Amino acid sequence: EWDQLLSPVLRAALPKAGICRNFPRAMVYAPIALQGVGVPHPYGLQVIKHLDMLLCHKANRTKTGAFLEAVLQAHQLETGTSYGLFQQVYANTSILASDMWT
């Protein structure tokens, strides 16, 4: 889905930067240290922002942090596991959770 959203943007922006518009996307998103263009992939940025939100709200003891902790504990209860959500292998426990979690 991200590729469909970014396709028109990259097709216009890459030639402006002097790069062929058909340049392999893996190289567009690769870091400069690995001979890539260094464009950050939005999905990766989204994941980082979500994790940052989880950590910041929990550390600052906000109401949102308390809600997130309750939701994570509810998921643990629903799957019947003795370990947290981020310690689970998704492929093994996804069938135990309701559609709300997938």
User: What's this model's pTM, rounded to 2 decimal places?
Assistant: 0.58
**For position 76, what pLDDT does the model report?**
85
**For position 24, what pLDDT does the model report?**
92
For 1, the 3-state DSSP assignment is coil
- The separation between CA 19 and the C-alpha centre of its own chain, rounded to angstroms, equals 27
Question: How far is the C-alpha of 57 from the C-alpha of 66, rounded, in Å?
Answer: 8
Question: How far is the C-alpha of 74 from the C-alpha of 62, rounded, in Å?
Answer: 18
**Tens digits of per-residue pLDDT, 20-58?**
999 999 999 999 999 989 999 888 899 999 889 888 887
Q: Are 48 and 40 in contact (CB under 8 A)?
A: no
Hey, what are 66's tokens?
């308390």
Closest CA to 72 of 21, 31, 49, 81: 81
Q: Is it the case that residue 62 has pLDDT exceeding 90? A: no
